[in-house]
Amino acid sequence: MSKTDNHTYRLIIHCPDKVGIVAAVSQFIADHSGWLLESSYHADPDSDWFFMRNEIRASSLSLSLDEFRSQFAALAINYDMRWAIYDSMQPQRVVLLASHASHCLADLLHRWHSGELDCKIPCVISNHENLRSMVEWHDIPFKYVPVNPHNKAPAFAEMEAIIDSYHADTVVLARYMQIIPPEMCAKYKDRMINIHHSFLPSFIGANPYSKAYERGVKLVGATSHYVTGDLDEGPIIDQDVVRVGHSHSEEDLVRLGRDVEKLVLARALRNHLENRVIVHGHKTVVFE
């Protein structure tokens, strides 16, 4: 990307595949002097579905974002497009949910604080108090929402109210260990990201490192995915693994896994924030 001009628009499209889509879209962009910094596409042969991401230098366009939207709509309708255009100068508002474990939260906060992660973090919500000081050092509000194990609904209602009060675009479960109720999954569909501490679909559910240790696997991993009502079955954004061996205890697996969790969640969130991830059914297209 240009070093002197980082302001871009990201045009994201998906629709039934047919001849001429690329021509139509790129002609529209060129007709308005749009300079393409990146352009990616994918055609899924199973569903005959087309996906496209264009990153356009904002200053090159001869029309405003609103004008772009209204004029492009006419074209989009011809191709039955699902589409959106995002302004890189309008970073997303991301609410982070955490439990007791600090590693993913600390990692994301540091990336954000050092300018690597381009978003706003209006607040962090946790069902434990132990990370308050770390969060507040970053000048981010810390919301303590304890979860009553015998009646969880009030806590989730409170969390939802907080998330909505900040107009969050995205919710990240940074090792938040509670199962999210189905209605909440549905409400934040394709914009609630979880990190699961196993290489899915291995070891779905609780205690994956314990299961991995018991099974004697030679790699442990982590999976970042969009949250759906089916536990650990949501569309996968990213995964990675680390090598382990017989000399590693279950605690070692947990420790080594933490580094993979941090990295996989950060990569997934970055791609999500740059509008590089498109959900299609229960799978994702990730334009890296």
Enzyme catalytic residues: 232
In the complex with its own copies, the residue whose CB is nearer, 57 or 143, is 57
How far separated are the first and last CA of the chain, in Å rounded? Answer: 13
| Least CB distance to its own copies at residue 8 (A) | 13
Q: Which is nearer to its own copies, 98 or 159 (CB)?
A: 98
Which residues does 12 contact at the CB level (< 8 Å), separation at least 6? 52, 53, 83, 84, 85, 86, 275, 278
C-alpha span between 162 and 166 (Å, rounded): 7
Nearer to its own copies, 20 or 146 (CB): 20
Q: Are the C-beta atoms of 13 and 76 separated by less than 8 Å?
A: yes
Per the structure block, which two tokens stand in for 51? 């996906």
Cα 119 → chain centroid: 12
Of 192 and 278, the one with the shorter C-beta distance to its own copies is: 278
Residue 25 CB, nearest distance to its own copies (Å)?
8
Q: Check: CB of residue 225 under 8 Å from CB of residue 204.
A: no
How many Å apart are CA 17 and CA 11, to the nearest integer? 17
CB of 41 vs its own copies, minimal distance in Å: 5
In whole angstroms, the minimum distance from the beta carbon of 40 to its own copies comes to: 8
Q: To which residue do tokens 């740059």 refer? A: 274
Distance, in Å, from the CA atom of 283 to the CA atom of 241, rounded to the nearest integer, reads 20
